[in-house]
Amino acid sequence: MSRPLAEFVDMLRHADVPVSIGEAIDAARTIELLGYEDRSLLKGALSQVMAKTEDEMASFDQCFDDFFKIETNLDLGGNLQEQLGDEGSDNGDGPEGSAPQDALDDLQNDMGPQNGEGGGSGGGSGQCEDQPSAEGQGTPSLIDMLESGDRTALTMAMNEAADEVGLGNIVLSTQRGLFTRRIMEAMGLNDVTQEVRDRRNQGEDESADELDRRLNILFEATRDMVDRQLALTAEGKSLEFRQDVLKKVRLSNIETRDFKIMRDLVRKMAKRLTDMNSRVKKVKNRGHLDIRKTMRRNVAYDGILFETHWKQKEKDRPKVMAVCDVSGSVASVARFLLLFLYSMNEVLPNVRSFAFSGDLGEITDLLKDNGPEEAVPAAIDKYGGRSTDYGRAMQDFKDLVFDEIDNRTTVIILGDGRSNGSDPGTDILKDIKKRAKRVIWLNPERKSLWGSGDSEMDRIAPYCTVADTCNSLNKLELVIRDLLKSN
């Protein structure tokens, strides 16, 4: 696999497009087939090979545009470069638009007539054949390269130096200066500055100034390259980083801007959980041989046992009814609890969801018909904002669905159990618990706060199969996993 492709794959992986090795190989074959000439064709083809969901497709498009804007100097073949060169000048301002070459081009143009044949090979057609030969000659010193304005050699040296210092590891914008300096040093900055000083000492001010000027151009090109690399990797890495943090942080502290990342996390989690659940179900399904039924079925075949019949357990489809408190006291958490409900809806077939602060209402359809970005605020809007009344909510819940609760139903209640002094409706909860398979109460508050003030958790807890604190995603996952395991 060629180096640019490897880098592109790496970039995609950072940007949350999990390209497998097989897909990378397919991508290599695709490139082999189509070449780099027709970029929109290549983009379309590669997107089909490498991106497998709509979200990934969006990331892919972004990455492709970024990548092929930047990696102009790599051995991608001549035509592409010209094309990219054109495009670069079309929209070419700002750090994104202009490639390092633009700065280096300046250098080259400045050389005017004196750049001679060096300019010829560098003039936009830096083909892959050039590279090995250049390496073969042994690397010329930075001073020589600057003197001759050899663009190809300079960009190559820049890339090598970038590899050497591990530019791919750049994550934070504060590292920019450091990396720029390191790359320059790896290319031989010290020699050049020494040379400039020497010339000044010897009174050759003019040539010293010229060299210094060219060095500055190179410096800017390097900084551009570092900036771009930062734009490439930092975004992806910080996403991973943020995800990690988000899993552990208290739900109430999560900001709105992380909502989307959170949604993905929750969805992955819910999927993992249900996958696990379906495996358990499968094992249970096997059952053992039902001799009587088998015999009866095979009477027609002279008692030869053709069709066996197995005693099977009914396919156990867990029915889940989830009730979510969306009142002011849990407002900061409610969004994520609802988000979780939403994701459960996506992966489990039989989830019915309810929301309340005062009155309680069903939001199953609301979650089903809308994306989470609309559904969650809509649910809060519709049922939130009133003072919490658990007793009333319980009564409503009972009126709505009590008949449908049976011994396969799991009732999950997400709430802090603070009922503003009114009766929390424990007798109804007791009835529900009797009928349901289990009742799980998840409370975003710490246990030490339970029972303090208007918290009714001490009265509620005895009527729940499980009552636990649940204030981070990790915790939520643990609770639900236990729930599915004991299924």
Contact positions vs another protein (CB under 8 A) = 18, 20, 22-23, 26, 29-30, 33-35, 38, 40-41, 44-45, 47-49, 51-54, 57, 271, 275, 278, 282, 301-302, 304, 306-307, 346-347, 369
Q: Return d(Cα 323, Cα 363) in angstroms, integer.
A: 10
What are the beta bridge partners of residue 363? none
**Least distance in Å: CB of 110 to another protein?**
39
Q: Return d(Cα 202, Cα 194) in angstroms, integer.
A: 12
Residue of 266, 216, 270, 267 lying closest to 246 (CA atoms): 266
**Least distance in Å: CB of 449 to another protein?**
38
**Least distance in Å: CB of 128 to another protein?**
20
**Least distance in Å: CB of 279 to another protein?**
9
C-alpha triplet 333, 335, 341: angle, nearest 5°: 105
CA dihedral 295, 301, 306, 309 (to 10 degrees): -30
Closest to another protein by CB, 53 vs 253, is 53
Closest to another protein by CB, 98 vs 274, is 274
Q: Return d(Cα 322, Cα 391) in angstroms, integer.
A: 16
**Least distance in Å: CB of 275 to another protein?**
7
Q: Return d(Cα 218, Cα 238) in angstroms, integer.
A: 29
Edge to edge, the sheet with strand 466-469 lists 360-362, 351-356, 319-325, 409-414, 438-443, 466-469
One-letter amino acid at 217 equals I
Closest to another protein by CB, 202 vs 278, is 278
Closest to another protein by CB, 347 vs 466, is 347
Closest to another protein by CB, 239 vs 347, is 347
Residue of 337, 385, 321 lying closest to 357 (CA atoms): 385
- Count how many Cα atoms sit within 13 Å of the Cα of residue 241 in the half-sphere of its side chain: 8
Closest to another protein by CB, 265 vs 405, is 265
CA dihedral 105, 110, 114, 120 (to 10 degrees): 20
Closest to another protein by CB, 206 vs 369, is 369
Cβ atoms of residues 303 and 377 within 8 Å: no
Q: Return d(Cα 481, Cα 270) in angstroms, integer.
A: 9
**Least distance in Å: CB of 280 to another protein?**
13
**Least distance in Å: CB of 72 to another protein?**
22
Query: Dmax over Cα atoms in the chain, in whole Å?
Result: 114
Q: Find all residues with CB under 8 Å of 72, minimum gap 6, and list them.
A: 81, 84, 85, 88, 99, 101
Residues of the chain by 3-state class (helix, strand, coil), percent to 5:
70, 10, 25
Closest to another protein by CB, 339 vs 413, is 339
**Least distance in Å: CB of 369 to another protein?**
7
Closest to another protein by CB, 4 vs 35, is 35
Closest to another protein by CB, 16 vs 23, is 23
Cβ atoms of residues 473 and 269 within 8 Å: yes
One-letter amino acid at 355 equals A
One-letter amino acid at 45 equals A
Closest to another protein by CB, 28 vs 466, is 28
Q: Return d(Cα 368, Cα 345) in angstroms, integer.
A: 7
**Least distance in Å: CB of 462 to another protein?**
38
- Residue indicated by tokens 């930075």: 142
Closest to another protein by CB, 61 vs 406, is 61
**Least distance in Å: CB of 34 to another protein?**
5
Cβ atoms of residues 379 and 326 within 8 Å: yes
**Least distance in Å: CB of 297 to another protein?**
11
Q: Return d(Cα 113, Cα 354) in angstroms, integer.
A: 78
**Least distance in Å: CB of 350 to another protein?**
13
